[in-house]
């Protein structure tokens, strides 16, 4: 014969079951199924139940990125500009090396017309072909300087944050000293001291661009070094270099990718500054900044329209990289991803 406690438990269970069936009319809950199960009788997930997977992490990142229409437009602009500068010269043949031949085959400072869709400059070079030629050099410097600066800054910041103590203090004070010097001023000094070339511009811009990623990665490392998996590797006797390269840096990939995107835009602006000040690539080489220097001089002589094509190219590329960087920051941020 059941005791009073057994009757109470039986009555509580029956009341809970009846309340559930009353809340969901026409539904029956099999005895073998728990009331807190993640799926209903038909295999579906009830409201407030278990989360439904929306796909792989990469698919989520792409989905969030595509939602940003400005970023998609920016990506199209970047791809289009890369094809325009690197593939365009194979279809639109112009002389961009020999100024004497350019003067013989065309007229100086002509407006848009047949044979020269954007006109010619004061040296007789076709402006459209010149934008391709200068854009190729600007993009090479931008991408290469961003890669070098990001790689060095990531390793520097990870080492500083992981070791901490006096090592971190010493390394970061060096960064602070360099950050106190205006980047443009430092780049100008280095460009004046050394003979300007494509390789030198990459090195000079990278020398001032690695400071920002170093500080960012150092901050990320200070958080990651106290995580359980890092402590587990230490207890198991893992080498410090392995911890930094295999566990710290890979977990900062989101910050690295986003910062690298902004680094490209900053590098293109820096080389444009140098070229505009007359410290860009020497003739017959050119870059977008050097072209701006030339067309600004021509603008005073009545050829004001020549400043717009190269100016638009610089603005479009820099803004496009910033749009893409903003979207990547949102897409790679775990808290903003769809679950």
CATH topology of domain 57-88+125-336: MetI-like fold (1.10.3720)
Task: State the pLDDT at residue 35.
Answer: 41
- Cα distance between residue 23 and residue 289, in whole Å: 71
Check residues 66 and 234 and name the one with the higher pLDDT: 66
Please answer whether residues 71 and 337 qualify as being in contact, where contact means their C-beta atoms are separated by less than 8 angstroms: no
Confidence of residue 23 (pLDDT cuts 50, 70, 90): very low
Question: For 30-47, how does the pLDDT look when each residue is reduced to its tens digit (9 = 90+)?
Answer: 444 444 444 444 555 545
Task: Write the CB contacts of 284 (distance below 8 Å, at least 6 apart in sequence).
Answer: 96, 97, 98, 99
**What integer pLDDT is reported at residue 153 of this predicted model?**
93
**Residue (of 122, 145, 39) closest to 29 by Cα position:** 39
115-152 exposure pattern, b = at least 16 Cβ within 10 A, e = fewer: ebebbbbbbbbbbbbbbbbbbbbbbbbbbbbbbbbbeb
Q: Which residue, chain included where needed, has tokens 């067309």?
A: 295
User: pTM score, two decimals?
Assistant: 0.76
Check residues 101 and 227 and name the one with the higher pLDDT: 227
- pLDDT bracket for residue 28 (50, 70, 90): very low
- Find how far residue 325's CA is from the centre of its chain: 4
> Which single residue is written with the structure tokens 């990623």?
213
Helix (H) or strand (E) holding 336: none
Q: At 47, which helix (H) or strand (E)?
A: none
Cα–Cα distance, 107 to 123 (Å, whole number): 9
Alpha helices (runs of H) in the chain, residue ranges in sequence order:
4-23, 57-67, 69-86, 88-91, 99-105, 127-163, 165-179, 183-193, 198-209, 211-224, 228-235, 240-243, 253-276, 288-299, 307-332
Write down the mean pLDDT value for the chain: 78
Q: What's the whole-number mean pLDDT along residues 197-208? A: 89
238 in helix, strand or coil?
Answer: coil
- pLDDT higher for 308 or 14? 308
Report the candidate in 260, 267, 258, 294 with the shortest Cα–Cα distance to residue 184: 267
| Sequence ranges of the domains in the chain | 57-88+125-336
Whether residue 4 has pLDDT greater than 80 = no
């Amino acid at each position: 014969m059941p005791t009073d406690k057994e009757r109470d438990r039986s009555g509580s269970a029956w009341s809970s079951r009846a309340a559930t069936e009353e809340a969901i009319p026409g539904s029956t809950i099999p005895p073998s199924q728990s009331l807190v199960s993640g799926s209903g009788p038909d295999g579906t997930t009830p409201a407030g139940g278990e989360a439904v997977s929306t796909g792989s992490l990469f698919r989520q990142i792409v989905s969030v990125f595509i939602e940003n229409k400005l970023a998609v437009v920016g990506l199209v602009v970047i791809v289009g500009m890369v094809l325009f500068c690197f593939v365009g010269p194979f279809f639109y043949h112009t002389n961009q090396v020999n100024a004497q031949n350019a003067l013989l085959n065309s007229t100086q400072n002509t407006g848009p017309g047949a044979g020269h869709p954007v006109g010619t400059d004061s040296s007789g070079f076709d402006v459209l072909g010149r934008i391709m030629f200068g854009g190729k050099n600007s993009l090479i410097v931008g991408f290469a300087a961003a890669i070098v600066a990001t790689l060095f800054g990531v390793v520097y910041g990870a080492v500083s944050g992981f070791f901490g103590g006096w090592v971190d203090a010493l390394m970061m004070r060096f960064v602070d000293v360099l950050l106190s010097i205006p980047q443009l001023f430092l780049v100008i000094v280095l460009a004046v001291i050394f003979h300007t070339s494509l390789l030198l511009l990459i090195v000079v811009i990278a020398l001032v661009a690695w400071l920002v990623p170093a500080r960012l990665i150092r901050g990320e490392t200070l958080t990651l070094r106290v995580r359980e998996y890092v402590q587990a590797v230490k207890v198991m006797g893992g080498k410090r270099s392995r911890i930094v390269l295999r566990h710290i840096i890979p977990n900062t990939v989101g910050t690295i990718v986003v910062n690298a995107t902004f680094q490209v835009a900053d590098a293109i602006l820096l080389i444009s500054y140098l070229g505009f000040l007359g410290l860009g690539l020497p003739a017959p080489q050119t870059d977008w900044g050097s072209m701006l220097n030339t067309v600004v001089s021509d603008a005073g002589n009545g050829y004001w329209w020549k400043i717009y094509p190269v100016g638009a190219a610089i603005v479009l590329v820099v803004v496009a990289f910033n749009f893409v960087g903003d979207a990547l920051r949102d897409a790679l941020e775990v808290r903003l991803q769809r679950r």
